[in-house]
Structure 1
């Protein structure tokens, strides 16, 4: 290990090495087996029929399906695989029609890249669809495809259909299992949150709860509009997930218990775990889960007792009993309405156009390089740009670095395969082994996924262009060129890449927190305000998105990474403000005196002032909340003390950054 003269150890910067650490994730054995069969079986059929190129194309389509199979619920998996395959068929058709026409291919692929980039902002399925549209267009324009023109899209779509059939094979036996498992996992996450109340692990567990609830609601609400009220199982799961929200709020309030009382008794988290087990066991009704709860000793425990008993009662009631319940999160619009709105927003959004233009510029440059340089180049340059320049996939800079390193690692795997394995039937077991690595490595990180995918694509493309071992070094050069184009034309030339706009996003969230503080204490205690949980869930979802954006920015090189690091403590502080607001409201609902309206308004004004300072970059004015508290503190208990402390901490954190 190299060292400085004074003995200080030299090490790569964190932003460079963050993506090279494998993520702790279990091996998805079912996906491993599915990928192995889906990619090797078509190749075996093609060889048996004397059409190895046909088998290779079907396997390529299956590879796209394996990469896109990221959902848990079967209905979502159907859409995640089927819809992108249709876009991929259009892409390969366009690419095949311009194969060998250098400048026509440049124009067509540039236009396809613009469309692909713009539709990627509509949603997760649209993002994968845009990726396959461009990806297959690049492959069709760079590799010789079987004739007539419709052969390649038909074979690629057949490969996606193979993955789809293998994926949905267990639907009749396991229908509803992923949804129940997700809701049960959310309950278990909340149980850990209840157990951590008042301990140093509290904030970490709260973030885990937010992520788990987001995943569960996304899973259930994705098809709620179409089936709500008609599917008893789905209705019951939504009711039980909604019943979890009061438990989360009560657990937040438990953080404010006097320290002398210590952590909550184990009976409270054990009761939440019992509810989780009842959900995962199946949709049974008629008998409530027996709860052995201690006598509550304060407002927080009274809230927790009431929330747990309500959740147990919900689980025992028939599904139709909750069909007309007030919707805590707002019923989503119909799918076609959401799609139309998202498409309109994509067409009118400046960010959508900027990303589409960035991607189009980089793909156009990649195709120009392929057409102009006298050395033989391939579709791999544009392919690399396509994978690197995906904004919803992470940092462009770190992905370019990881792509180069992952490709180099994948080429090391490909060297013995292309050099020693004879083409023919030996390709079938080889592809079966290499394909099995894709799901296993994908869970570890992007560089590992790239290393697993690279040898599979090289082997399948060799069945189309028959270059053998000669593919290895050109593909490495092509990857480096593609990464260079993405870094220069897609990253460095765009100021928004290295001027983080995280302050604007955070300012919007702080403004929403200000509105939530005012809303939380509006009305008398006990008065139901459905807007409160709606606003709270949206706030936590927004904060989760801001947290993800921060974590992405932290992997960028200076100056973006250090700037994001400077704002990071404020993200945590705002999360604590929202939680303190909820906790105080819960305690007011269960016995604490209501806070003076003037003091609430002063705290909301302090947060609004913080949001304005974040947008303008101006110094913060003196907070008004302390003065309001001094004027009212003599009249009764300081109910808002914990919330005021969190607001004061957020302002103190922001002041040095704002100068």
Structure 2
């Protein structure tokens, strides 16, 4: 696939698309075939929301997230249904506003809390907008059944692919390390090192539960843990070699892939290494074909040390030289020599977790979300009367500052709604056959599953088309295409006016807070005593680089939001980059290099935005 702005696109998630199509089509086919259409539509709504959270993370946390989604959505649906059944016009509005306040209060506390808050509010919106006859428990049970179907389909490969996701995540670290080493001494070195940090963060999250408990030796989780611990040490060495700033020969840059082949047998890491070993005595050639002089040792003599021996005692001509003059190369050679007998060193502490915003920001977001939902509900009552749930539902989807810039999310929501309306309108012009429409639901469900991983507007396109078919199956055959586009635009306008009138600096404050936390973590890593245990050193290093990656994402988020007119944003990027250079230098120092002075960290953001 082509790259966009220099970043490679991830492959199309065909398995997720197939799961999305099946999870949405099966309940509708069963409902239409048995005559129980309303429960099938509610199950389809649950499956629709489940598809939006069907990620590529390990099976256990994925199923846990879907369980949180299902329970919160079912609880919200029950509350909305009871409010609608009460017959009091104000009961629905009170239920929506209360749910919005609760959702806003918890959503900024982390990913699971965000999922719970969003789907609690969505459940109340649907429950108060779609009358469901019969016992009160039918609707929540049908919704839970749809979410459960997504969970079952998503986790179906678990028995025979139990640790495949963790293995792929750890292997990606070794590949990212090889790319960073290949980029050393070039302008691509820093971006490649950041990609290594991202790969380590992803692997750290994927390996989470295996890092917090003892593992039986000889099991696959133990082998993965050992490979991950080695990857942490490799990350430190790679940072040091990037800091040294000189190009490295092919036999060095391929070392991480050979280590992965040793530590993760059965992967295709070995197939990505060089097919022929370099001559360990002859000088290597650079990219132009000119020979590179061998490294010199501490005395200035060229290094022509014999290569390492493999397990049989024969020399391994592909190993990095053990006595190379560079401290980073010596450390890489030592790590390579030990990689056939890895020993977990308990260095993989959990990634730091903290709220993205303080308590005051959580309260402000809750109040603003409640006000936006109230405004949307009042507008829906004036414009549509019954079944005016589209406006508050759109507010719930759009006003998620923890998921990216609000302005961009609103624009993508509007664009996706227009595209979804056009797509499903074209389908209904050709046919109104129920089974053809269910086939369209399967296609748009697959599109949504792809969009969840690639682009919010694409996900909205699929979701909009699916919702129109579900509404049609409920018997609402009104021509709502133009109305839903206008409703989406109105809901987005409500969110944008409220957010930028009353909280315009939220993204900038978050970026400043993340940058301060990242700089503090880098300084803690710098100030670690020389005799500290390796586990503590690796934990501080991982925390520092993780915080820096978070800060860079928060800064990009802030630059994507319009702020107060005439107010200049701090130069977070310069401060983050200088803290990264500090961490690289500290990594080099820890491996034996002795920079005369460690680089200072710029403090451009300190105090710039207030609390």
Length-normalised TM-score, structure 2: 0.84
Aligned-residue offset at 1:227: 6.5
Aligned counterparts, 1:575-590, within 5 A: 575-588=580-593
Shift of 1:375: 6.5
Give the SS at the match of 2:505: helix
Match of 1:512 among 517, 521, 527: 521
Residue 117 (str. 1) matches residue 122 (str. 2): no
2: distance between equivalents of 1:560 and 1:303?
A: 51
Cα distance in 1 for partners of 2:125, 2:255 equals: 55
Equivalent residue runs for 1:472-483 within 5 Å:
472-483=481-492
Counterpart in 2 of 1:35? 20
Q: Choose 352-361 or 490-499, whichever is displaced more.
A: 490-499
Structure 1 counterpart of 2:552: 547
Alpha-carbon distance change, 376 to 237 in structure 1, aligned in 2, over 3 angstroms: same
Secondary structure of the corresponding residue to residue 26 of structure 1: coil
1:292 aligns with 2:315: no
Residue 312 of structure 1: SS of its match in structure 2?
A: coil
Asked if 1:307 corresponds to 2:335, the answer is: yes
- Whether the aligned pair in 1 keeps the contact of 2:100 and 2:373 (CA below 8 Å) is yes
Rounded to whole Å, the distance in 2 between the matches of 1:447 and 1:567 is 28
Q: Report the equivalent of 1:628.
A: none
Of 212, 235, 251, the match for 1:267 = 251
- Alpha-carbon distance, 1:576 to partner: 1.9
* Structure 2 CA distance for partners of 1:529 and 1:329, relative to 1, 3 Å: same
From 118, 137, 155, the equivalent of 1:131 is 118
Equivalents in 1 of 2:45, 2:434: separation in Å?
17
Give CA-to-partner distance per residue, 1:19-41, whole Å, 9 cap, x none.
99998232111111111111111
Counterpart of 1:54 in structure 2 is 39
- Whole-Å separation in 2 of the counterparts to 1:379 and 1:212: 41
Matched, 1:142 2:149: no
When the two chains are superposed, the root-mean-square deviation of aligned CA atoms in Å is 3.1
CA distance in 2, matches of 1:543, 1:258: 21
Residues 1:200 and 2:187 are matched in the alignment: yes
Contact conserved, 2:570 with 2:605, CA < 8 A, in 1? Answer: no
SS in 2 for 1:503: helix
In the alignment, structure 1 residue 467 sits paired with structure 2 residue 470 = no
- Aligned counterpart, 2:393: 383
Between 1:69-78 and 1:208-217, the stretch displaced more is: 69-78
- What secondary structure does 2:583 align onto? helix
Shifted more, 289-298 versus 206-215: the winner is: 289-298
Matches within 5 A, 1:230-249: 232-249=219-236
Contact preservation (8 Å) 1:52, 1:463 = yes
1:131 Cα deviation from its structure 2 partner: 1.3
Q: Is the 8 A contact 2:517 2:547 kept in 1?
A: no
* TM-score of the pair, normalised by structure 1: 0.78
Q: Determine the C-alpha separation between the residues in 2 that align with 1:407 and 1:274.
A: 48
Match of 1:615 in 2: 606
Name 1:93's counterpart in structure 2.
78
Indicate if the aligned counterparts of 2:262 and 2:340 stay in contact, CA closer than 8 A.
no
Moved more, 499-508 or 187-196: 499-508
Change (3 A) 1:330 1:558: closer
Superposed counterparts of 1:205-604, under 5 Å:
205-222=192-209, 224-225=211-212, 228-229=215-216, 232-257=219-244, 259=246, 263-282=247-266, 292-295=318-321, 296-298=323-325, 299-314=327-342, 322=344, 325=345, 327-330=346-349, 349-373=359-383, 378-464=388-474, 466-468=475-477, 470-497=479-506, 500-519=509-528, 522-523=529-530, 528-557=533-562, 563-564=568-569, 566-588=571-593
Q: What residue is the counterpart of 1:633 in the other structure?
A: none
- After TM superposition, list the pairs within 5 Å mapping 1:161-180 onto structure 2: 161-180=148-167
Show the counterpart of 1:657: none
Q: CA 1:73–1:507 in structure 2 vs 1: closer, same or farther (change >3 Å)?
A: closer
Q: What SS does structure 2 have at the residue aligned with 1:27? A: coil
Give 5+ residue unaligned stretches, structure 1.
1-18, 315-320, 619-659
Cα distance per residue 1:528-586 (max 9 Å; x no partner): 45322211111111111111111112222355899458432332232222212212332
Looking at secondary structure, tell me which structure has more helix per residue: 1
Residues of 2 paired with 1:312 and 1:198: CA distance? 29
Q: Within 2, Cα distance between the matches of 1:109 and 1:282?
A: 53
Cα distance change on mapping 1:294 and 1:507 into 2, 3 Å: closer
**Contact 2:178–2:256 (CA<8 Å) still a contact in 1?**
yes
Whole-angstrom CA distance in 1 between matches of 2:209 and 2:402: 19
Give, in whole Å, the separation in 2 of the partners of 1:270 and 1:169.
36
Measure the CA separation in 2 of the matches of 1:411 and 1:450: 10
Q: CA separation of 1:112/1:222 partners in 2, compared to 1, >3 Å: closer, same or farther?
A: farther
Secondary structure of the 2:159 match is helix
Q: Does 1:79 align with 2:106?
A: no
1:318: which partner in 2?
none
Q: Retained in 1: the 8 A contact 2:572–2:605? A: no
Q: In 2, distance between residues paired with 1:176 and 1:348?
A: 36
Give 5+ residue unaligned stretches, structure 2: 268-309
Structure 2 counterpart of 1:653: none
Query: For 1:425, what is the secondary structure of its paired residue?
Result: helix
In structure 2, the CA distance between the partners of 1:472 and 1:481, relative to structure 1 (3 Å rule), is: same
Change (3 A) 1:294 1:22: closer
CA distance, structure 1, for counterparts of residue 213 and residue 228 of structure 2? 18
Change (3 A) 1:150 1:587: same
CA distance in 2: counterparts of 1:561 and 1:421, whole angstroms: 54
Structure 1 residues 68 and 31 mapped into 2: Cα distance closer, same or farther (>3 Å)? same
| CA distance in 2 between partners of 1:172 and 1:436 (Å) | 24
